[in-house]
Structure 1
Amino acid sequence: MRPVRIFTALTALLLATTGFAPVTATAATGSAVRPAIACGDLARGFALPGAATHVTSAAVVEATGTDPEYCGVKGYVEPAVRFELRLPTKTYAGRYLQYGCGGFCGLVNPPQFADCGLPHGGDVAVAATDDGHVGKTPAVVDDGSWGAHDQAARDDLEFRAPHVVSRASKAIIRAFYGAPPKKSYFTGCSDGGREGLQLAQRYPDDFDGVVAGAPANYWSPLLEFQAWLARVDTAADGSPILTAAKLPALHNAVLAACDRLDGLTDGQLDDPRACHFDPASLACAGADTPSCLTPVQVAATRRIYSPPTDGHGTLLYPGGELPGSELSWAGWIIPTPETGGVSFARSLADSYLRYLGYPIGAPASTVDTFAFTKREFDRLTPEGVRYNAMSLDLSAFQRRGGKLVLWHGWADEAIPPAGTLDYYQRLTHGHGQDWARLFMVPSLYHCGGGTTLTEFDPLKELVAWVERGTAPTVVTATGRDATGHVTRTRPVFPYPQRAVYDGTGSVDDAANFRPAPPMAPVRDVVHWAGDGLYAIPGPVAP
């Protein structure tokens, strides 16, 4: 069974949102809209061109202490894109919110209501999808076997499912309330972040605002990077070279060397790129103990911090793991008993290389046989560009007033921040930042969790931007302990601004920090093997 943290980050990372800012229905989207037809009347077909939709069940669900009364709709878009849509029966005010998936998806995470200021936050209709297939257990989201010979199922994961579910949901909303939603939003992290960027790039009319967290938009190169993580920490006998027992000492050594570099010794690295830590400083002087690294462990750790390259030194991915992320490597990079002895990076990469990464019928590969060469990188590209969301042309989304919020944790173990930073600078260079923002969150792991900060959700700021024209100038990140107690809050300012302590009060209180410019000029563009991928448009569904 997979660790709860990893499973949560990949499959249920969007089930507990902090919600929208308190906005009255009349100020934002009008008075509450009552249904025009009975909930049960939705259990029928909807003949949408290219997205024939079938509602298999529609029933009223009573209000609870956390949710309003709603019409619970379940169905699928042909051929097999399952979805769930929840429609408030008494408090809907015109907003639609669609959630993204994690990993390879393969299940429908029940969509949660977000707080818009009405009772229980029920003024928003919410939906989620499985991206067109059902994943096998135990982890579901790392299973790609369903796509070995099924191009239609691949199409749904690659690009089609979020778009057709948007169309289906809006048609059902129109039928139920008598009008389509007035404002539509998408939020997702990891694969969901990739989906959000795809929607803005390929289907600019679908959503008014998109939140893309820790996006897996460099999809094919990213899965190659996962194979790299698995390979560099695997000994000849299949055992891990760097073990989970060594991670606390490694992380503590990183903090001892670099915590003070941002001007504050607070247990987190505000920009880990300033940390030039050499794991050789932790080399064992005598016996091998949990507090030191053996020579082969030093070498493996250096490789984990580094991106894969081919024999000519060409980067095959924009960056490696960053200092400060070490504690999150257990389970993702380093297999543990809780992961069944297989790291999640290996599981994802192996499934992709076997079943999803190459055109159907082409010779496949595995983590253990994959060659880190430009030739093999190029072999993955024909199918990879169908998943990727790397286009820099969001002009249609921008022209119609669309707003994009990107965010990423500096300690992300699954998707290193380098790709998001590279993409954002390429995207906004010469175009200003009046429609896109990036927020970089210190110490945050993949989509949530961390050492000092554990939660970040800019959804309410996105809504204020779309509906009031108020561009986000700060989003507060929160840290909680295992009991749910808030241990730290910290402002996160639009990148490249940084948070600087004002010298008074607790360093765990966001109120005691102010924005400051970066300490050095921003140079985030990375020249790598994928330089040509930004100009390749992906396929578009009807």
Structure 2
Amino acid sequence: MLAPVFTLAVLAACAPATVAEAPVRDCQALVRAYDIPGATAKVTSATVRSSGPERCEVTGRIAPAVTFRLALPVRTYGGRYLQYGCGGFCGEVSSPAVVGCGEDTGDAAVAATDDGHAGPAMDGSWALRDQAARDDFAFRAPHVLSLVAKQIITAYYGTPPKKSYFRGCSNGGREGMLLAQRYPRDFDGVLASSPAISILQLGGIYQTWLVRSNTGASGGPIIDATAAGVLHEAVLGACDGLDGLIDGQLEDPRLCEFDPATIRCEPGSARRNCLTAAQTEAAQRLYAGPTDGQGRRLFPGRQPFGGELGWPDWFGQGDSGTSAVLAENHLRYLDFPIGTPHSSLAGFGFTVGDYERLVPESVKINALGLDLTEFHRAGGRLVIEHGWADQGVPPSMVIDYYARLAQRNGGLENTRSFARLFLVPTLYHCGGGELLTRHDAFPELVHWVETGRAPDRTIAEGHGRQGNARTRPVFAYPERARYDGSGSIDDESNFTAAPPLVNDSGIVRWLGEDLYDRRGPVAPG
């Protein structure tokens, strides 16, 4: 799953930094070994950089093969540590952006890792025969980086970080969820964006279903960009006003019960705003989600209504699209135990047998654990943000998890005391979209951790259908935004919180329900 490149962030809600006039130790002195449970880390370089916020840039390696970078503010450190997750299959160490309370300051030490292997983010071939690399990617690398980074921070400033945060999208969001579940004392706050929590089923089953549902006999897409636009306008025409406001977006796509058959072209029709029989069938399969021949659900997700314009980029390009590359790499290299037969995009069967072959590795890598007792007890705070139009990681999968989390942890209100979910209309996977295109709940997470005041609302930004600027409030699930009847519909101040319009628990009945109770492995420490 892909993740965005993070640029300089501004924590508008954070408290003033406690300025360090000078580092306790010289940057170059950090070049040495650091021991953590089960491994040794070695800093290979440490250099002061003055472009942007002045910082000590550290690179290193945690045995056996976890490469990392850590940036330490020289004069503006305020006691925070922020670790970034990585997207896709990882393999590359991003340059972590120094973040702070102002555009020209960085008050947080920041770090990132390649998750224990090198290669392009969309290449999973490293996993075919390397169990150690698999374990690093599945559950170890982000944890051991947190241990090493905190040791280096302590060595540099003379004290450990006051507060530690993790943020990531897609696979990085999965990492954040897994850290809260299996390493509950690593981070005080976790921001999981579009989290790929059931990543093996997501890559092996769901992405395969998307591609095969939308690929014709010639290898080209059944629903191309033109057909996706026709379908999208029909969905809006049928469902836009169901939330009480015609504004070009669906506040909750679950209200929509549109049937693509209603716009199927009549035989011999010259109309352009209709779908062929093949396009109609493909759309119905995409909205339904993966099932076997008996209708048993193989995955807790499906394409949401309202996200059709995002389909061509993900699964509208045959074997070269994002979904196809993800599915092929998952099934060929990662999803089955080493030494057992693997599969492929063309060869995977949507059967109970093929589903069950995914289970052994799923327990290791999926982030479906519902017991967050220790995370809650340690004062941890979790914010999940997800786009209602996410074409890569379906929102229904995350709603299903959150509903089960509430059921397991004493009900919705008790769960909202430490974990909150924000669902953003029209937002695609990790950002972008038709109307609302940007949402960042990280400042609200910091505010929650450091003041104890939970976020009831965040703000999403983008544009209206005429191109003008649009801001909308996004309220903590299950509440929704409701227009108050006066002022611009593109101004967030004219919306209030309202109860949900859907009377649905959110829980999806599927073959993998036992996975939520199966505890995955953890690394030492």
The answer, yes or no, to whether TM exceeds 0.5 is: yes
Contact kept in structure 2, 1:84 and 1:128, CA below 8 Å: yes
- Select which of 349, 356, 368 maps to 1:371: 349
Determine the structure 1 residue equivalent to 2:368: 390
- Select which of 47, 61, 66 maps to 2:35: 47
2:40 equivalent to 1:57? no
Determine the structure 1 residue equivalent to 2:209: 228
Give structure 1 stretches of 5+ with no counterpart: 1-8
**Equivalents in 2 of 1:531, 1:477: separation in Å?**
33
Contact kept in structure 2, 1:305 and 1:321, CA below 8 Å: yes
The CA deviation at 1:289 is 6.8
Determine the structure 1 residue equivalent to 2:24: 36
Contact kept in structure 2, 1:245 and 1:290, CA below 8 Å: no
**Equivalents in 2 of 1:300, 1:420: separation in Å?**
24
* Deviation per residue, 1:94-146 (Å, 9 max, x gap): 000001111111111211122335x62411111111111112xxxx2221101
- Select which of 123, 147, 152 maps to 1:167: 147
**Equivalents in 1 of 2:135, 2:21: separation in Å?**
36
Determine the structure 2 residue equivalent to 1:466: 449
The CA deviation at 1:60 is 0.6
Look up the SS of the partner of 2:375 in the other structure: helix
**Equivalents in 1 of 2:8, 2:201: separation in Å?**
29
Determine the structure 1 residue equivalent to 2:417: 434
Look up the SS of the partner of 1:496 in the other structure: coil
2:14 equivalent to 1:23? yes
Q: Could you list the runs of 4 or more consecutive aligned residues of structure 1 that deviate by over 4 angstroms after TM superposition? A: 287-290
Determine the structure 2 residue equivalent to 1:454: 437
2:292 equivalent to 1:310? yes
Q: How does 1:231-380 map to 2 (within 5 A)?
A: 231-285=212-266, 286=268, 291-335=273-317, 342-380=320-358
Determine the structure 2 residue equivalent to 1:541: 523
- Kindly tell me: are residues 501 and 480 of structure 1, through their superposed partners in 2, closer, same or farther at Cα, counting changes over 3 Å? closer
Determine the structure 2 residue equivalent to 1:132: 116
**Equivalents in 1 of 2:109, 2:488: separation in Å?**
40
The CA deviation at 1:18 is 4.1
Determine the structure 1 residue equivalent to 2:96: 111
- Select which of 370, 380, 391 maps to 1:402: 380
Look up the SS of the partner of 1:82 in the other structure: strand
* Deviation per residue, 1:291-313 (Å, 9 max, x gap): 32110111011111111111222
Contact kept in structure 1, 2:163 and 2:188, CA below 8 Å: yes
Contact kept in structure 2, 1:220 and 1:385, CA below 8 Å: no
After TM superposition, the score normalised by the length of structure 2 is 0.95
* Deviation per residue, 1:297-354 (Å, 9 max, x gap): 1101111111111122210011210110000011201117xxxx61211110111100
> May I ask how many residue pairs the two structures share in their alignment?
516
The CA deviation at 1:288 is 6.7
2:422 equivalent to 1:444? no
After TM superposition, the score normalised by the length of structure 1 is 0.92
- Kindly tell me: are residues 367 and 318 of structure 1, through their superposed partners in 2, closer, same or farther at Cα, counting changes over 3 Å? same
**Equivalents in 2 of 1:486, 1:34: separation in Å?**
46
Determine the structure 2 residue equivalent to 1:183: 163
Identity %: 52
**Equivalents in 2 of 1:282, 1:61: separation in Å?**
59
The answer to which of 278-287 and 169-178 deviates more is: 278-287
Determine the structure 2 residue equivalent to 1:416: 394
2:201 equivalent to 1:210? no
Contact kept in structure 1, 2:458 and 2:473, CA below 8 Å: yes
**Equivalents in 1 of 2:202, 2:175: separation in Å?**
15
